[in-house]
Amino acid sequence: MPVTRIELESRERQILAPYAQLSSETRGRIHDEPPPEWRTAFQRDRDRVIHSRAFRRLEYKTQVFLNGTGDHLRTRLTHTIEVAAISRNMARALRLNEDLAETIALAHDLGHSPFGHTGEETLDRLMRKHGGFNHNRQSLRVIEELEQKYPRFLGLNLSWEVREGLSKHQSTFPAPPAGKTIDFEHRQPSIEAQIANLADEVTYYSHDLDDGLESGLLDEKRLLREVEVWSSAAKKVRKDFGKLPDESRRYYTIREIIDQQVSDVVNTTEDAIRAARVDSADAVRACAKPLVRYSPQRKRANLELRKFLYKNLYYNPGVAGPNNRAAKMLGEVFNYLLAHPDETPTAVQRRAQIEGWERAVCDHIAGMTDRYCIHEHQRLFGLEFIS
């Protein structure tokens, strides 16, 4: 017999921990829809994210290096897929709802601007007098308003738990749909959302190292001398495998870093859950601090790694130079479209009537891929972008 949603929900109740978020207990959607027959609510949400236009555009958005810089360097899409995979692994280990954690991970960067964090900072500066710009808030705008696929509502109409997971701060937690209530102090998102948030960090710690080495901007010898996270993983790989070719050695070292990070988070989180004595998903939300965390030792080691990456990769002229030039170009396109509203697409002009020209143009540019923004600049100014 085919497996129905009812059977899938029953399996969740049998397998998942008492503090996991059950799909059968979702607070629902803003717009009522008949439940799916063969999927849970969160599985439907995951599919809607994957089929969105915003998700497809991530393929052509910068992670660290400008899109198109190298065939093996990560894009915002490959980063997102890696975050989703690590989220599922950690959620499974802790008997949490894998589908919810994965969906939040897949959606977490839908609102990211072109040209990575440099592009985000540029848009935030340009929008300072008009509410600013933050890619987390923009991801919510994408799923609630900007995706326009369905005949009866704007956005993707995702479940409240996914929308909650995309809210990074208490002040932005979404209100529940009509008829649903919150009868606790809402201090934290679900534990699945906490998993997705930390999986994002685990991913860029490890894979930005990988891309930095691939590009030649980072040096293994310096990593061995200066970064505990790298040196401990490299020693373990050498002990297990001896001397390896360069590509295999780097791959296994990155893999070992991820394994160590995931193991640390799972074990530390399990201890935190036990100490907090949470017995429901809403008890997690009422906790004063997140339950998903690193051990103090791993947190200190990651801080050392973070400082090293900023100094030697993110602020490296080979990364910062092209990103800064691209962000300057983004600003020029923004200012041009504000000054020439008749040259904006019809959809932008319609949105401007509702939220003003600044926000409408910001939404338009935030949705651009790197290459589309570059092409727009060439069209408007006739200048070739040199990375």
- The number of helix segments (H) and strand segments (E) in the chain equals 18, 0
Q: Where are the alpha helices (DSSP H) in 68-159?
A: 76-93, 98-107, 116-126, 135-141
Q: What percent of the chain has pLDDT above 70?
A: 96
CA distance 33 to 16: 26
The domain 5-381 is classified under which CATH number: 3.30.420.40, 3.40.50.720, 1.20.1740.10, 1.10.3210.10?
Answer: 1.10.3210.10
Is 227 within 8 Å of 213 (Cβ atoms)?
no
Secondary structure of residue 291 in the 3-state scheme:
coil
**Given this model, what pLDDT does residue 1 score?**
77
Check residue 74 and give its pLDDT: 79
Rounded Cα–Cα distance for residues 313 and 65 (Å)? 10
d(CA 68, CA 369) in angstroms, rounded, equals 11
According to the model, what pLDDT value does residue 312 have?
92
Which of 138, 139, 163 lies closest to 30, judged by CA?
A: 163
Residue type, 176: P
Structure confidence at residue 25 (pLDDT): 96
> Rounded to the nearest 5°, which phi and psi values hold at 75?
-105, 175
Query: In angstroms, rounded to a whole number, what is the distance separating the alpha carbons of residues 307 and 210?
Result: 16
Residue 377 and residue 178: Cα distance in Å, rounded?
44
Regions of the chain where pLDDT drops below 70: 65-72, 169-171, 383-387
Q: How far apart are CA 128 and CA 358, in angstroms?
A: 10
Q: Which two tokens stand for residue 104?
A: 């939040």
Residues 65-101 pLDDT 10s: 666 665 667 789 999 999 999 999 999 999 999 999 9
Q: Return the DSSP state at 331.
A: H
Side-chain-side CA neighbours of 302 within 13 Å: the count stands at 21
Q: Are 63 and 79 contacting, i.e. CB atoms less than 8 angstroms apart? A: yes
Residues 115/326, Cβ–Cβ less than 8 Å: yes
Q: Identify residue 68 by its one-letter amino acid code.
A: G
What's the pLDDT at 178? Answer: 78
Q: What per-residue confidence (pLDDT) applies to 75?
A: 87
Residue 316 C-beta-side C-alpha neighbours within 13 Å: 17
- Inter-residue contact 168 to 265 (CB < 8 Å): no
Q: How many CB atoms lie within 10 A of CB 180?
A: 11
Contacts of 315 (CB under 8 A, 6+ apart): none
pLDDT in tens, 151-196: 999 999 999 999 999 987 556 788 888 778 888 889 999 999 999 9
| pLDDT score for 254 | 94
pTM listed for this prediction: 0.94
pLDDT at site 173:
86
* The pLDDT of residue 212: 87
In angstroms, the CA 108 to CA 31 distance is 22
Q: What pLDDT is recorded for position 69?
A: 64
Most distant pair of Cα atoms in the chain: their distance: 65
Query: Cα-flanking dihedrals φ and ψ of residue 182, to 5°?
Result: -125, 110
Q: Write down the domain spans for the chain.
A: 5-381
> For the chain, what is the radius of gyration of the CA atoms?
22
